[in-house]
Amino acid sequence: MTRRFALRSPKIAPFLLVPAFVLAVSIAGFVSPAAANAKYAAVVVDGNSGRTLFARNADAQRYPASLTKMMTLYVVFEEMDAGRLKLDSRLSVSANAAKQSPSKLGLRAGSSISVEDAIKGLVTKSANDVAVVVAENIGGSVAGFAGRMNRAARALGMNQTTFRNPHGLPNSGQVTTANDLVRLARGLQDRFPGYYKYFETRSFTYRGARYGNHNRLLGSVKGVDGIKTGYIRASGFNLVTNVRRDGRHIIAVVMGGKTAASRDAHMRELIAKYLPEASRGDRTAPLLIADTGALPVAEARIPRARPETETPSVLAYAGAEGPRDIVSAAMAEAAIPQGDVSGAAEPMDPVAERISAATEVAELASDDAPGQAADPIARLTQLARLRAGKADIIAEGPAAGEEAASGQAGWHIQIGAVPTEQGAEALIEKAQASMGEALASRFPLTQEIEHKGTKLYRARFAGFTDKAEARAACDRLKKKSFACLAVLN
């Protein structure tokens, strides 16, 4: 309305309106940013001084899409920096990784890929199968790796960012901001200047196939040395760009482009306008070298506790009328064949789906655990009292020394027990997606238990300081229709 009034006002010369109109068109990809492109966000930061030169919606949460892989690579570089991975280390390819949606390299289940090829595949092709290979080899699972990504994000000051997967495929809980992405780009350059050079890779040949970099500004805009593009329908076309020219340095982010061409054109405009305004000479902004508190690889993965023999196998389901119904449900579920379960973009294990919607949690406690009734019927009675709020929290026996060292000792929350490890991991991922920051700093883990040759897998989060904190987390999960029980491991 302001623009319409101005155009009609005889007091304002038309030529005075043209620059403002052109700027509005340019910023939004040929439309007004406020009215027609709710996905748009952009920021340009002076890399030498740290000063923001331009910002629009820079702190508004957006979907990162494949910009996610910047953090995936950050964790890879962290592992290499710590000596746990080398460029020629081999990463195994699971069936879950191989079945990811394009863009992908087409990796085969049971094969392997070197760390260096994985890096180049992520930088150029933005391969989703490679992203899951990295996640499973470093984090043990997609959920475990996402927890690692979130810890790194917090350490870098990316306080408006949450990761749920390593590739950026659609997940409503995976969000970031333009300002947070600048911090990530700075962190990659400041902490890993040698590895950062991989973002300059123009093309990559793997098993006879050549893959060009999706970043079209490489080689076409002087001074651009990376770093990443991204697109899903929910995000629009995203781009993070780093430019060094004539002693000046800027980091720019454009999110929500209508097309790749309009996004690139807008980025070129931002570079042309704001690079000359950036400071020249020595850097005065502090280096962003964060201590992410990265765990050794054995601890960073979703750990599987040592198998335990437990009896009886009891699953508590909403609607079960008595002990016979509960035990029958457990055995029936154990017989259901299970397939691989990937991240949030894939169908969930049907058992996990039902348990996560149930009002109670499956509690499978060992015979010698303190506070447990040995008799099956007595145990079921105790469980019923617990469900009714008339019994104290079930406390399990103390963990072995190696479990204490890996962070498994102490208070846990359990959200289910299912016949497959993939199903347990799917429950973990669903809880993480629903709870956001509430679970970001907790340690997801699965525990394998066995009864008469039948395996079940607990889905848990560790890292709670005391009973009250664990119970509070359960209360929040229950409000989102998750089953939950606080236990002392």
- The CA distances from residue 464 to 240, 292, 356, in Å, are 37, 19, 21
Other beta carbons less than 10 A from residue 319's beta carbon: 9
Give the Cα separation of 94 and 91 in Å (integer): 10
Give the Cα separation of 235 and 229 in Å (integer): 12
Secondary structure of 273-339 as H, E, C letters: HHCCCCCCCCCCCCCCCCCCCCCCHHHHCCCEEEEEECCCCCCCCCCCCCHHHHHHHHHHHHCCCCC
Candidate list 94, 103, 126, 141, residue with the active-site label? 126
> With contact defined as beta carbons under 8 Å apart, do 230 and 248 qualify?
no
Candidate list 69, 104, 120, 430, residue with the active-site label? 69
Instruction: Confirm whether 39 is a catalytic residue.
Output: no
Give the Cα separation of 485 and 461 in Å (integer): 11
Give the Cα separation of 461 and 442 in Å (integer): 6
Residue 438 φ then ψ, to 5°: -60, -30
Instruction: Confirm whether 69 is a catalytic residue.
Output: yes
Helix and strand numbers (H, E) in the chain are 18, 14
Burial (CB count <10 Å: 0-12, 13-18, 19+), residue 350: middle
Candidate list 66, 279, 342, 406, residue with the active-site label? 66
CA quadruple 227, 170, 113, 154: dihedral sign: positive
Cross-strand bridge partners of residue 209:
206
Helices of type H across 82-192: 95-98, 115-120, 128-139, 142-155, 178-191
Q: Which pair of structure tokens corresponds to residue 206?
A: 């793997």
Instruction: Confirm whether 452 is a catalytic residue.
Output: no
- The CA distances from residue 259 to 57, 194, 204, 269, 394, in Å, are 19, 32, 25, 15, 55
Give the Cα separation of 115 and 131 in Å (integer): 11
Other beta carbons less than 10 A from residue 203's beta carbon: 12
Hey, what long-range contacts does 148-151 have (CB within 8 A, 24 or more apart)? 148/75, 148/294, 148/295, 148/300, 149/71, 149/72, 149/75, 150/440, 150/441, 151/292, 151/293, 151/294, 151/440, 151/441
Give me the active site residues, please: 66, 69, 126
